[in-house]
């Protein structure tokens, strides 16, 4: 196995610098994850490896973003299989720290606040989730920041390596918030969004899908079907008629719908055009969340017309 596992921030920094030097490279790609990796994560890793000289991934189940201790405890942990998957994609380095390494003083006193953008949609049913998620993303982006280790005479601008971090479109609100954090707080990193990877039947891949029974998994397909319906209407320059798509989801008894709306992809504010009789024009994002059996599922689809 060519991939290397490190567990401390100091090792990550040193190993990242060493690899950049060894490869004569000038760019580092970083893929933060919580492990239990699937083909969606593999696509993130592949995208990062293709665009950067050195690629690091992190695996850390962040207690700060779980409101529910049971959910945290049962989050799947599959480090060996995760390492194999990342190795197969050509990732150089995996950072899998302990909770103590990331939070040596227990809960951090100072945190990133996600603000109004973090309080709606997912934030409304998971209070504090995005503050916790952004706080750890901020820490991880700092840990992996490539400083030092560039070869003498490197082509990189001013001696600094290009730094790119990869996030899935699947978690659209997280992506929008990470983009805002990086812009608002001047993090020296480029955020790259990777389209959602789906199973053949349309279900968006998620580490939580393993908790669905066969019957629940079948029922869960209504989420991606309803999103596809809106996408087809947008592509055909038809009115979106969101209420009929909502009805489709509500007709599935195993699915308990939380929200389903069409929003601005950056602000996540609902777009007025959703329910109008006029054809959809412009750029939108259809977002949906529902509970299916024991699992809360989220999905979304970009709309362009």
Active site residues: 41
Q: Which stretch binds ligand AMP (CB under 6 A): 38-46, 109-117, 138-146, 279-287?
A: 38-46
Phi, psi of 252 (to 5 degrees): -95, 110
Calpha distance 266→271 (Å, rounded):
12
Q: Least distance to ligand AMP from the beta carbon of 91, Å?
A: 13
Q: Which ranges constitute the DSSP H helices of 190-254?
A: 214-235, 242-250
Calpha distance 47→30 (Å, rounded):
10
Q: Which of 42, 205, 242, 245 is the binder for ligand AMP (CB under 6 A)?
A: 205
Calpha distance 78→60 (Å, rounded):
11
Calpha distance 26→162 (Å, rounded):
6
| E strands in 127-254 | 162-168, 190-194
Q: Is 196 in the site for ligand AMP (CB under 6 A)?
A: yes
Q: Is 194 in the site for ligand AMP (CB under 6 A)?
A: yes
Q: Least distance to ligand AMP from the beta carbon of 169, Å?
A: 6
Q: Which stretch binds ligand AMP (CB under 6 A): 105-113, 114-122, 190-198, 297-305?
A: 190-198
Of 66 and 280, nearer to ligand AMP (C-beta) is: 66
Q: Which of 72, 160, 197, 275 is the binder for ligand AMP (CB under 6 A)?
A: 197
Query: 152-187 in b/e burial notation, b at 16+ Cβ within 10 A?
Result: eebebeeeebbbbbbbbbbbbbbbbbbebbbeeeeb
Q: Which of 19, 28, 34, 145 is the binder for ligand AMP (CB under 6 A)?
A: 34
Q: Is 29 in the site for ligand AMP (CB under 6 A)?
A: no
Binding site for ligand AMP (CB under 6 A): 33-34, 40-41, 43-44, 167-168, 170-171, 194, 196-197, 204-207
């Amino acid at each position: 196995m060519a991939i290397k596992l490190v567990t401390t921030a100091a090792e990550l920094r040193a190993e990242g610098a060493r690899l950049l030097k060894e490869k004569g490279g000038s760019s580092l790609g970083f893929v933060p994850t919580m492990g239990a990796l699937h083909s969606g994560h593999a696509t993130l890793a592949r995208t990062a490896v293709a665009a950067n000289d050195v690629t690091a991934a992190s695996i850390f189940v962040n207690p700060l973003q779980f409101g529910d201790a049971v959910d945290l405890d049962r989050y799947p942990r599959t480090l060996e299989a995760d390492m194999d998957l990342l190795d197969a994609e050509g990732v150089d380095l995996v950072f899998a720290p302990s909770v103590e390494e990331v939070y040596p003083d227990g809960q951090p006193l100072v945190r990133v606040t996600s603000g109004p953008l973090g309080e709606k949609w997912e934030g409304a049913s998971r209070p504090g989730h995005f503050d916790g998620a952004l706080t750890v993303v901020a820490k991880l982006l700092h840990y992996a920041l490539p400083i030092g280790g560039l070869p003498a005479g490197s082509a990189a601008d001013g001696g600094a390596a290009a730094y790119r971090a990869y996030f899935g479109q699947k978690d659209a609100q997280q992506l929008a918030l990470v983009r805002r954090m990086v812009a608002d707080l001047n993090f020296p990193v480029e955020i790259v969004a990777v389209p959602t990877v789906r199973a053949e039947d349309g279900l968006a891949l998620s580490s939580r899908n393993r908790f669905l029974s066969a019957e629940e998994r079948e029922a869960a397909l209504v989420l991606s079907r309803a999103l596809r319906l809106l996408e087809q209407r947008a592509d055909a320059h038809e009115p979106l008629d969101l209420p009929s798509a909502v009805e489709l989801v509500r007709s599935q008894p195993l699915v308990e719908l939380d929200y389903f709306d069409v929003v601005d992809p950056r602000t996540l504010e609902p777009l007025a055009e959703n329910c109008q009789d006029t054809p959809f024009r412009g750029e939108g994002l259809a977002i949906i969340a529902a509970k299916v059996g024991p699992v809360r599922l989220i999905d979304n689809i970009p709309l362009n017309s």
